[in-house]
Amino acid sequence: MRSRAAITLGALFVLIPSLVEAQSYQQGDESEDTGTAMWMSAMDEAKSKEGSGVSRNGQYEVKEGDTLWGIAESQLGNAYEWPRLWSYNPQITNPHWIYPDTKIRLGPPEGSAAALAAESTAIPTSRKSTLRRSTLRKGDILLGDLAFLDKRALEDAGWIVGSHEEHMLLSPSDWVYVRFNGEPPVAPGTELTIFRNIPPRDREIREQGDLVRIIGTVQLVDYDKEKRIGRAKVIESMDPIERGLRVSAAPRRFTTIAPRVASNNVEGTVIASAWPNVIMGSQQLLFIDKGSEDGVELGTRFFLLRRGDVWRDSKEGRLEFSGTIEPDYEAADREDLPDEVRGEGRVVNVQKNTSTILLTNVTVEVEMGDRVKAIQGR
């Protein structure tokens, strides 16, 4: 088995503040678009507040005691954005000295490179264009590089079959044509994930299903049912996008929800992981071979079960005379020993025959083939 360490990965998934430190997930040129999006969002909120010091033209009137750090925190939502705020105001020669009654700009000047970059990433919805912003909420989990598809989802996936762009490698703001064998899995206006299959040689040998590498995202704009051709706009790219890549409504975003009491007993097996490791631990996503048809629901708690004598099952325990007690007794049969709960996870996504589980607490390493069980009433 080849190690999946050979797979080059970026950030695999992003956990919003309830799990780990929040990260802003933006497409395109983050150095420009992220700050602009933050500014536009801040303006929407600031305009509704009286006495905020924000004028309608996106300027802030400095009050006594203000600092760029404090203004960035109150107006942009992130104090660490003060260098960007300073860059919008070249008249400030020393960022440590700003004076009351002066006005500072909270966003890039109209016609500047930053403003034009924001406009170029706008996505048409009906007749309007709006800036794509991060829609992650507290508790959301976003897969960055990998996604899991069951057999049915892979069969329903479509293809990027062409583009009117004159270049081979496509990127955000480019247009593509997509085709599905039947009805598209989403309605116009919603998003599709661009992916390519990961070959078996780059996966853990015991994994099942199809693990795919996410390349980017397109937004489906319209679809001709007779010709089975639709137009879509590239809105995110993590690798160069080419004609021939596949598109699907593969779930990438999972929201942590309150645990639900299991309505019945369901025993499943770990069949894949959304992490490039052979073993898994807390706060990682894994996939099991049970889904809605088996009675699994969102929030269902699954318990990791282990059985056996851990030391005896280890390499050292199998060595002859490795212990201090002579092996003149009959050891308990592994199958006769009771199950022990060694961890817990919660269902964050349910398909017909598979489910995605977020490991919330485990005391041992989790591996492919491990047993998990939802216990009725718990």
Domains of the chain: 30-120 (3.10.350.10), 140-254 (2.40.10.170), 266-374 (2.40.10)
Average pLDDT, stretch 200-223? 73
| Token pair listed for 118 | 């924001």
pLDDT, residue 333, reads 77
Average confidence score pLDDT of the chain: 72
Strand order in the sheet with 140-143: 13-15, 140-143, 253-255
CA dihedral 55, 36, 21, 286 (to 10 degrees): 140
Q: What is the DSSP letter of 197?
A: E
The amino acid occupying position 172 is P
pLDDT attached to residue 143: 55
Which range, of 9-23, 68-82, 285-299, 311-325, averages the lowest pLDDT?
Answer: 9-23
For residue 328, name the pLDDT band (cuts at 50, 70, 90).
low
User: Burial, 35: exposed, middle or buried (Cβ in 10 Å; 0-12, 13-18, 19+)?
Assistant: buried
Residues of the chain above pLDDT 90, percent: 18
Mean pLDDT, range 290-319, rounded to an integer: 81
Which ranges in the chain belong to alpha helices (H)? 30-46, 68-71, 82-87, 113-120, 151-156, 310-313, 315-318
Q: Which of 50-54, 208-212, 354-358 has the lowest mean pLDDT?
A: 50-54
pTM across the whole model: 0.48
- Per-residue pLDDT, 6: 36
Q: Provide the pLDDT for residue 329.
A: 64
Most confident of the ranges 53-57, 128-132, 188-192: 188-192
Q: Report which DSSP code applies to 112.
A: S
Torsion sign, CA atoms 222, 225, 230, 236: positive
Neighbours of 282 (CB within 10 A): 15
Residue 228, Cβ neighbours under 10 Å: how many? 16
Share of the chain above pLDDT 70, in %: 62
Give the model's confidence band at 181: pLDDT under 50 very low, under 70 low, under 90 confident, else very high: confident
